[in-house]
A and B are shown apart, each in its own frame.
Chain A
């Protein structure tokens, strides 16, 4: 059996990162995925394309799928979807809450055709509430979910906040959330025969990345958090700018330098010291000959000694002392990294239009299942004809649909 989801069929209506990523994970797990795209291609194909309709990021988020082009605003396209749904297990969808009903691909319509359908729905802000109809991308979610303020990056001098840029973090975690929702619902359907609608949102995923911060806890919040909130709100009313409000937050939460848990530069690179437990902290003090309660000068001496040392030597000493540590590495170095190589985390594939590429494989190993080798992402509309012919459309009908702009 090739993957735990072999034999499962999925119809995907998606764009940009989150839902396509969920689909790719499910494809890696062995499901068969038809991705429905508008005839001009979904927006992520066109963002930073290096050849027409192909972008690197699209190719990283859509491997192993089939591509079917459909103009969903057209009646004929909706008919195709309804014919396809009769034979699929799952619909993956990310649209604003009002859109699916317009295209007749809402849960009510589709579950009437396929009664045990699992309908996995991802919105930006949820289906209700004052923000429900706003279009939302990762950055907007970072802003309203508190992640951006909590990260605390600001533009030097000017003071505006900055987005978290190392990863589109809300998007990726929503991709995981949606794929998780699908497999949990599949497990339930396998036992009971019941399908259902499962809902995720970018906002909910972002909140779940910082549960202990968002959580309100009257007892624990009394001493620090409540007074700091009042101080910040008072200054906001008095006309303080964002940067000052942020400083009030950081000061109030005593977010300060913790030399047991931070990066340090060395002569030829850098490392992190990541001691959390008392035992680990003691090991740091012993290694750097720090007193029980180090003062600023002790820390400055420690920084200076690290600055002169080689990364390799510092790392090996920290490892020997049992302190959690790692070198500071650049992400572009990771394709050649020793752990990545030893664990066979890369996978090679050929894209029919743009050739050889190397991607990262799925972050799941199953002891009793041999997984299929992933295939590259599809070219735009590659599988349209084949899918429609399997539904019984003949060449004349395809031509007609093409002329009407229903398919590409």
Chain B
């Protein structure tokens, strides 16, 4: 076994993506990870499953682990679990807060195992009226504002829709927890002491939208009116579509032609000119003279200027749609404008860029056979070729750990 976490033993009690992802980061780095699953199996095994107790989601988040079936709510079984936890370096705890037995609290565990690191993942933090309520990614999207910020709506034009491409609150939390775990391990290596590290999913999504949550009075002057209008509509208990209107009235109406995707003749391409210098290059490559906010006289509140912007935008859209994606990628690349083809996720496992960087790696599953996984997000030069094994079948290792 090799990797920066070699010789570490991890007990994972999760049931969500965040805890499973963190456990997988540990196995990817050479730790021994024992995943505790309820008698029916982990929830992720049932989401989009292709055979009994097996799903891509579960297999993608649990490679290299051992699976032990144990009913955490059963007092006798808890005894067995505690014996195991006393031998561990790390306990990952991200199961629903209301289902966590008191015996697994860090304050109780540390007497037997003072070097133990407990990673405590909760949806809403340790305090407050929501702290013990059940949650998942959709709940955090709604509560933390990403859902409404994203602005997707159903065909009726008003019912908001959630983000579906990724579970940001889960994966972001797993990564944050990995930072906490690594820091706690470093601290333990320097002092010999374990501790509890806590992470909250709600704070993850807030951190990922921080510029909208942070208060900075001089910087906020231009958006303050929109925010106040929104808060006022909220206080008057208006419906969501009305509140969204109020919020948009005074907010930024800039039409940005230079940082957005466009349809081409045979697909779609992203134009990524984020700075003034890049926008000048993009103007040349796209054949437009439109200055937008690079014009000192630009006023986003002037309807005539917005109409003009939309005309320029329509012209660029038409122009880009006449040529192929390959044509535009080549042209934008030559001009030095950040760009990329809009690709479908199902096609990526065969993409040369991913293969040449070892971003996909073969993994063998004991029942389902060969599969290609997304490689770990960090490449360590001292461990260039990590051992990656498939996810365990349900309860495969129960006897090994509970009835030796």
Contact = CB atoms under 8 A, between A and B. Distances in A.
Contact of B148 (A130, A328, A343): A328
A267 interface: yes
Contact of A270 (B160, B230, B378): B160
B225 interface: no
A77 interface: no
A56 B374 CA distance: 35
A203 to B, nearest CB: 7
A363 B32 CA distance: 26
A327 B142 contact: yes
Interface in B249-296: 259-270, 272, 274-275
Contacts of B260: 139, 160, 162-163
A150 B162 CA distance: 12
B139 A326 contact: yes
B56 A212 contact: yes
B301 interface: no
A6 B153 CA distance: 47
B8 to A, nearest CB: 10
A258 to B, nearest CB: 10
Interface residues on B, range: 35 or more
A85 to B, nearest CB: 17
A333 B142 CA distance: 12
A367 B107 CA distance: 10
Interface string A212-249: 11111111100001001100100010010111010001
Given A145-B343, A162-B261, A343 B127 contact: yes
Most B CB atoms within 10 A — which of A56, A243, A319?
Answer: A56
A280 B96 CA distance: 14
B124 to A, nearest CB: 5
A242 B144 CA distance: 31
A227 to B, nearest CB: 11
A38 interface: no
Contacts of A184: 4-5, 29, 178, 182, 378, 380
A173 interface: yes
A139 B166 contact: no
A62 to B, nearest CB: 12
Nearest to A219: B368
A31 to B, nearest CB: 10
Contacts of B340: 131, 134, 136, 140-141, 143-144
Contact of B206 (A4, A182, A334): A334
A149 B274 contact: no
Interface in A355-395: 355-360, 363-369
Contacts of A201: 357
Contacts of B270: 139-140, 142-144, 148, 163
A172 B172 contact: yes
Contacts of A169: 166, 168, 208
Interface in A307-335: 319, 322-335
Contact of A364 (B152, B172, B176, B349): B176
Contact of A204 (B209, B234, B359): B359
A126 interface: yes
A299 B370 CA distance: 42
A216 B372 contact: yes
Contact of A334 (B144, B193, B208): B144
B183 A4 contact: yes
Interface string B36-60: 0000000100111010000111011
A143 B240 contact: no
Interface stretch (B65-73, B75-83, B213-221, B393-401): B213-221
Given A128-B357, A207-B374, A366-B184, A331 B148 contact: yes
Given A131-B353, A270-B240, A357-B217, A211 B61 contact: yes
Interface string A132-167: 101111011111111111111100001111111111
Interface of B is mostly: mixed
Interface string B186-201: 1101100101111110
Contacts of A304: none
A173 B189 contact: no
A53 interface: no
Interface string B168-183: 1001110110111011
A5 interface: yes
B339 A274 contact: no
B139 A345 contact: no
Interface stretch (A68-76, A190-198, A290-298, A399-407): A190-198
B68 to A, nearest CB: 21
B212 interface: yes
Nearest to B333: A134
Given A143-B261, A169-B168, A333-B231, A366 B213 contact: no
A271 interface: yes
A368 B193 contact: yes
Given A180-B175, A261-B138, A264-B159, A236 B378 contact: no
A361 B141 CA distance: 20
B381 A196 contact: yes
A330 B230 contact: yes
Interface in B120-162: 124-131, 133-136, 138-152, 154, 158-162
A331 B209 contact: yes
A236 B124 contact: no
A214 B348 contact: yes
A272 B359 CA distance: 35
B357 A151 contact: no
B179 A366 contact: no
B147 A272 contact: yes
A338 B207 contact: no
A300 B124 CA distance: 32
A125 B333 CA distance: 14
Nearest to A368: B195
A324 B373 contact: no
B115 to A, nearest CB: 12
B338 A359 contact: no
A109 interface: no
A185 interface: yes
B239 A268 contact: yes
B345 interface: yes
A324 B339 contact: no
Nearest to A188: B4
B202 interface: yes
Nearest to A238: B266
A197 B241 CA distance: 50
B308 interface: no
Contacts of A94: none
Given A207-B348, A270-B240, A274-B139, 10 more contacts: A166-B209, A169-B208, A180-B179, A210-B165, A211-B373, A239-B265, A263-B160, A330-B247, A331-B149, A343-B203
6 contacts: A144-B342, A148-B165, A180-B175, A242-B264, A324-B135, A343-B128
Sort A-B residue pairs by CB-CB distance and give the 5 closest, nearest first.
A146-B345, A331-B145, A183-B182, A342-B128, A126-B357
